[in-house]
């Protein structure tokens, strides 16, 4: 059995933010060999004329703090600014076979990629090559392959400009195989909200925090994954706003926070309590918990009606704006408390407390993350949350509505400008007119379908615009085994990651500029743009010298690829776009005139410019023209039944990682130091399984499909987690997730309830 990395786990007593985050920052700069120049860059982060943080998609306020960044954003900036380099000499020293033995941390810790590289099968090494040779060879290798067999992946960091060009290139090549990180993330939101309220995105914005009187939080680890939101939560708490949290784990950022940018709080160690109620439901228990709340609300509304008191439900809103209410109410009435308590693992009285806050609040925001979307019933989770909001008209008024917290800094924006496999989400005819070609109508491949295609051989070529596809997707072993069968594997990246170590028959690794770096093209310095989680679009201008003189920008790389891949088309001047990104924005404006009027002029609007949202105006672009209630078929979002010795594994992010990028081995808020090989477990389950703290075990998937999937070397760690649930870190745990274990409809891999068993020896 592989020896786990030794570490220490001790309950963390401090608040989120506070001195801990300042100390953590002090560790980062030396780790990336950075001096004071980095601090100057941090001051520009998330400012109107500065650059959009490369970490999360939390909005950038118009009235920014002097330092509008958080510990996590600083880590992400430092990670990109690092003075360390992964040069051709590095690859001379290490074969890919050897590098496959390295950890994710060690791979990226070697710093920024500096040269375009081509894999040489004879030597098993990457070797430097000129850009021209690389593009010519890639074009030549891709052109003969049937468009259906080529996948164009992108990760949500890529700008609007590069994303638009990338989607156009794929469609002109002849497919919509545009899987992206959103397919593993908030696609359950895009599908669920679209069906329920007619828009695929949240309806709320930063200013709604000033009007809400209760926040309901589901499955988001704010302290680690969108720490700047803690400022908004703190001001809400100071106004007496109730914050009701549903999460299997007690996440520190949702409990207590000290503002590291507030000298008084820092010196007096004053903390703000964040959640006023904290409900540790079991993983996959949200549909049941919300059903329970709805049951109370309906009961109270019945009682009010009988007593002639004001109603608890907003009947005017329901009558005027919704469809499906009767069916939903019938289901709620017929659902028993026994089922609700069993499926949520919450008591009726705990659910009553939450329902009471909901009933008393005039305006409620529902904020959520991967804890809802990454389940087999992830779309149902989202729809159930909308049901809750609809009951009291909590959509389309100040301080109310759904707020999905997006992950990557432009993941929402990519979809806005055409990164999607679904024809109905793009103005296909307008694209055809604009560029004089006939675009494919056949649905393209999403992430899960791309994985299936890589495994069964029907996908023959993969181009990755950022990201670490192979590491982020489930079914690690089968995927790694199949990858070398690809005819072509091209990756555009800033740092070396595990995906790059699995070559296809023709393999290129192309290094690009990061967003913080100066991007000078023929017409001068360029800016790019991104869309945040609240649909606000911001310009971003890099100022720092590039990590290497050989780097190209993402728009330049996409343009050069497109030129080699596609026949010349006088209506698409890829070179002019590369020379002046303002022209790409003009093209985007022409394709999406409703969203991007005066795009260039509004690029640096303080706080970004809002792309608008019909549901926020109570205009419902749904099938029925109304907001639609939903009746779930099952209260169990996990999608599999509990059985003896079967656990629901939650795959988690630590506070020292950004997705597959591992900054370090600590998870401060969860008290973990020096290791990621932990298995969080309830003490009663440890007793039942006869396990002691520190014992080393393995997990095996229990999907019942006969495939052996195993993760070795996990340290049993007692933790405050509901019985029947386990926690382990992503991406290491992805070996355990079958590719077919994904959300119905949205295909988001169901990483928050993976059926597993504990194995020994
Ligand atoms: N520093 C940092 N920031 C990041 C990222 C990062 O890796 N590091 N990643 C970015 C990306 S791409 C994304 S998508 C976001 C991810 O940010 P989050 O949405 O916070 O995702 P996770 O960290 O996976 O954690 C999800 C939370 O859901 C809880 N949970 C698990 N199962 C359930 C359930 O069934 N019900 C409920 N109610 N809760 C549950 C977990 O305990 C955990 O607190 O963050 C973005 N920001
Ligand atoms: N089990 C489990 N699996 C999950 C999740 C989970 O919670 N549990 N979360 C899912 C989610 S929400 C997401 S979003 C995906 C993440 O999937 P991805 O977005 O594919 O993965 P990242 O780890 O964000 O990608 C990191 C790599 O991006 C490259 N990179 C960084 N910056 C740039 C840049 O500016 N340009 C370019 N071209 N490349 C750059 C670097 O080379 C770096 O190694 O993982 C998913 N997988
Ligand atoms: Mo994500």
- Give the CATH number, domain containing residue 229: 3.40.228.10
Which of the listed residues 250, 374, 407 should we mutate to test ligand 1's pocket, taking the one with most ligand atoms within 8 A of CB? 407
Average confidence (pLDDT) over 151-164: 97
Average confidence (pLDDT) over 167-181: 98
Strand locations in 412-494 (E)? 461-465, 488-493
Do 312 and 360 belong together in one domain? yes
The residue whose CA has the least distance to atom 37 of ligand 2 is 466
How far apart CA 591 and CA 432 sit, in angstroms, is 10
Per-residue pLDDT at 70 = 77
Q: How far is CA 673 from the centre of its chain?
A: 25
Contact 370, 188 (CB under 8 A): no
- The per-residue pLDDT for range 605-629, each reduced to its tens digit, is 999 999 999 999 999 999 999 999 9
| Pocket lining for ligand 1, CB < 6 angstroms | 55-56, 72, 185, 218-221, 224-226, 246-249, 251, 283-284, 286, 369-371, 407-408, 650, 652-653, 657-659, 752
> Is 342 a member of any domain?
yes
Own/partner contacts of 479-486, CB < 8 Å, gap of 24 or more, are 479/451, 479/454, 479/455, 479/739, 482/454, 482/455, 482/457, 483/454, 485/454, 485/457, 486/454, 486/459, 486/460, 486/461, 486/462
Question: In this model, does residue 538 exceed pLDDT 60?
Answer: yes
Q: What is the DSSP letter of 143?
A: T
> Is 540 a member of any domain?
yes
Average confidence (pLDDT) over 464-471: 98
Please report the atom of ligand 1 found closest to the CA of residue 725.
Answer: 32
Per-residue pLDDT at 77 = 86
> Is 266 a member of any domain?
yes
Coil, helix or strand at residue 304: helix
Residue numbers of the domain that contains 98? 90-183+410-600
Per-residue pLDDT at 745 = 96
Question: In this model, does residue 75 exceed pLDDT 80?
Answer: yes
Coil, helix or strand at residue 369: coil
Do 163 and 295 belong together in one domain? no
Which of the listed residues 181, 474, 528, 533 should we mutate to test ligand 2's pocket, taking the one with most ligand atoms within 8 A of CB? 181
Domain's final residue, options 57, 81, 105: 81
Strand locations in 347-410 (E)? 364-368, 401-404
Per mean pLDDT, which range of 87-91, 254-258, 593-597 is the poorest? Answer: 254-258
| Pocket lining for ligand 2, CB < 6 angstroms | 108, 155, 157, 181, 184-185, 370, 374, 407-408, 465-469, 472, 492-495, 497, 512, 514-515, 554, 651, 659-661, 730-731, 733-734, 737, 749, 751
Question: In this model, does residue 179 exceed pLDDT 50?
Answer: yes
The residue whose CA has the least distance to atom 8 of ligand 1 is 658
How far apart CA 138 and CA 488 sit, in angstroms, is 8
pLDDT above 90 coverage of the chain, percent: 84
Per-residue pLDDT at 67 = 63
- What does each C-alpha distance from 407 to 50, 156, 404 come to in angstroms? 21, 8, 9
Question: In this model, does residue 534 exceed pLDDT 90?
Answer: yes
Do 432 and 461 belong together in one domain? yes
Do 152 and 191 belong together in one domain? no
Q: Which ligand is nearest to the CA of 552?
A: 2
Contact 364, 215 (CB under 8 A): yes
How far apart CA 172 and CA 567 sit, in angstroms, is 9
Report residue 421 as tokens.
Answer: 């496999």
> Is 1 a member of any domain?
no
Do 160 and 230 belong together in one domain? no
Do 179 and 193 belong together in one domain? no
pLDDT above 70 coverage of the chain, percent: 95
- How many domains, in total, are found in the chain? 4
Q: DSSP alpha helices (H): ranges in 530-591? A: 554-565, 574-579, 581-591
Instruction: Check residues 604 and 47 and name the one with the higher pLDDT.
Output: 604
pLDDT band at 208 (very low <50, low <70, confident <90, very high): very high
Per mean pLDDT, which range of 222-236, 461-475, 523-537, 740-754 is the poorest? Answer: 222-236
What string of H, E and C letters represents the secondary structure of 61-128?
CCCCCCCCCCHHHHHHHHHHHCCCEECHHHHHHCCHHHHCCCCHHHHHHCCEECCCEEEECCCCEEEE
> Is 552 a member of any domain?
yes
Ligand 3 (ion): residues with CB under 5 Å are 185, 407
Per-residue pLDDT at 160 = 98
How far apart CA 480 and CA 253 sit, in angstroms, is 36
Average confidence (pLDDT) over 74-93: 92
- The per-residue pLDDT for range 311-369, each reduced to its tens digit, is 999 999 999 999 999 999 999 999 999 999 999 999 999 999 999 999 999 999 999 99
Per-residue pLDDT at 265 = 63
* Pairing, β 524-525 against β 520-521: antiparallel
Please report, for the domain that includes residue 754, its CATH number. 2.40.40.20
Average confidence (pLDDT) over 127-145: 98
Q: Other CB atoms closer than 10 Å to residue 555's CB: what's the count?
A: 27
Q: Other CB atoms closer than 10 Å to residue 645's CB: what's the count?
A: 10
Average confidence (pLDDT) over 452-462: 98
Domain's final residue, options 52, 81, 110: 81
Do 106 and 57 belong together in one domain? no
Domain's final residue, options 81, 101, 135: 81
The residue whose CA has the least distance to atom 12 of ligand 1 is 407
Do 260 and 331 belong together in one domain? yes
DSSP result, 317-349: HHHHHEE-HHHHHHHHHHS-HHHHHHHH---HH
Question: In this model, does residue 669 exceed pLDDT 90?
Answer: no
Average confidence (pLDDT) over 533-546: 94
Do 426 and 392 belong together in one domain? no
Minimal CA–CA distance to 174: which of 207, 204, 151? 151
Do 420 and 394 belong together in one domain? no
Please report, for the domain that includes residue 508, its CATH number. 3.40.50.740
Question: In this model, does residue 485 exceed pLDDT 90?
Answer: yes
When the pLDDT of each residue in the chain is averaged and rounded to a whole number, the result is 94
């Amino acid at each position: 059995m592989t020896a786990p990395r030794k570490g220490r786990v001790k309950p963390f007593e401090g608040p989120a933010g506070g001195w801990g985050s300042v100390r953590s920052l002090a560790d980062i700069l030396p780790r990336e060999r950075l001096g004071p120049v980095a601090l100057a860059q941090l001051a520009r982060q998330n400012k109107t004329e500065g650059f959009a943080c490369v970490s999360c998609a939390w909005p950038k306020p118009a009235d920014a703090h002097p330092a509008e960044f958080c510990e996590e954003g600083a880590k992400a900036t430092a990670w990109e600014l690092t003075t360390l380099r992964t040069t051709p000499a590095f690859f001379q020293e290490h074969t890919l076979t050897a590098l496959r033995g390295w950890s994710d941390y060690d791979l990226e810790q070697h710093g920024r990629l500096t040269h375009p590289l081509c894999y040489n099968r004879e030597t098993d090494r990457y070797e430097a090559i000129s850009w021209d040779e690389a593009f010519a060879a890639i074009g030549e290798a891709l052109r003969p392959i049937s468009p259906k067999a080529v996948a164009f992946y992108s990760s949500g960091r890529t700008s609007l400009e590069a994303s638009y060009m990338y989607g156009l290139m794929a469609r002109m090549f002849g497919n919509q195989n545009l899987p992206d990180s959103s397919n593993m993330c908030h696609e359950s939101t895009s599908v669920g909200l679209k069906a329920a309220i007619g828009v695929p995105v949240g309806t709320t914005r930063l200013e709604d925090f000033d009007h809400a009187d209760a926040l309901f939080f589901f499955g988001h680890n704010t302290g680690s994954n969108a720490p700047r939101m803690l400022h908004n939560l703190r001001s809400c708490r100071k106004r007496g706003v109730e914050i009701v949290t549903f999460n299997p784990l007690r996440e520190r950022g949702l409990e207590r926070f000290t503002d590291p940018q507030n000298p008084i709080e820092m010196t007096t160690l004053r903390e703000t309590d964040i959640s006023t109620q904290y409900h540790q439901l079991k993983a996959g228990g949200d549909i049941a918990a919300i059903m329970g709340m709805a049951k109370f609300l309906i009961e109270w509304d019945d009682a009010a009606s009988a007593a002639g008191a004001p109603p608890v439900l907003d009947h005017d809103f329901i009558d005027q704006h919704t469809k499906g209410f009767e069916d939903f109410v019938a289901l709620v009435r017929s659902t028993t408390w026994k089922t609700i308590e069993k499926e949520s693992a919450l008591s009726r009285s705990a659910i009553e407390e939450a329902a009471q806050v909901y009933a008393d609040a005039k305006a409620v925001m529902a904020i959520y993350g991967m804890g809802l979307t990454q389940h087999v019933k992830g779309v149902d989770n989202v729809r159930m949350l909308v049901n809750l909001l609809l009951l009291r008209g909590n959509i389309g008024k100040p301080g109310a509505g759904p707020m999905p917290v997006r992950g990557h800094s432009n993941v929402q924006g990519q979809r806005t400008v055409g990164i999607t496999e679904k024809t109905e989400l793009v103005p296909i005819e307008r694209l055809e007119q604009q560029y004089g070609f006939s675009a494919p109508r056949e649905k393209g491949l999403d992430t899960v379908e791309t994985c299936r295609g890589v495994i069964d051989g029907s996908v023959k070529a993969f181009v990755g615009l950022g990201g670490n596809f192979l590491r982020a997707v489930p079914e690690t072993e089968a995927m790694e085994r199949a990858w070398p069968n690809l005819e072509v594997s091209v990756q555009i990246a800033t740092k070396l990651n595990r995906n790059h170590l699995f070559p296809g028959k023709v393999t290129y690794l192309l290094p690009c500029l990061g967003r913080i770096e100066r991007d000078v093209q023929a017409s001068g310095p360029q800016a790019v743009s991104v869309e945040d989680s609240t649909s606000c679009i911001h310009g971003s201008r890099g100022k720092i010298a590039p990590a290497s003189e050989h780097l190209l920008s993402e728009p330049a790389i996409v343009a050069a690829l497109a030129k080699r891949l596609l026949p010349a088309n006088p209506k698409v001047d890829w070179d002019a776009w590369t020379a002046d990104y303002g022209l790409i924005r003009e093209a985007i404006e022409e394709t999406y005139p409703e969203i991007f009027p005066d795009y260039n002029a509004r690029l640096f609007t303080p706080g970004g410019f809002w792309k608008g949202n019909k549901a926020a105006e109570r205009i419902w672009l749904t099938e029925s023209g109304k907001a639609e209630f939903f009746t779930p078929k099952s209260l169990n979002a996990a999608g599999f039944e509990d059985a003896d010795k079967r656990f629901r594994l939650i795959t988690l992010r630590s506070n020292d990682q950004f997705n597959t990028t591992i900054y370090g081995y600590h998870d401060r808020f969860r008290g973990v130091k020096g290791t990621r090989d932990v298995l969080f477990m309830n003490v009663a389950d440890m007793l039942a399984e006869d396990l002691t703290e520190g014992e080393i075990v393995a997990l095996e998937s229990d999907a019942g499909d006969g495939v052996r999937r195993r993760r070795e070397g996990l340290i049993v760690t007692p933790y405050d987690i509901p019985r029947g649930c386990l926690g382990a870190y992503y991406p290491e745990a992805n070996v355990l997730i079958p590719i077919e274990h994904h959300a119905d409809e949205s295909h988001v891999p169901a990483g928050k309830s993976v059926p597993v068993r504990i194995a020994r020896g």
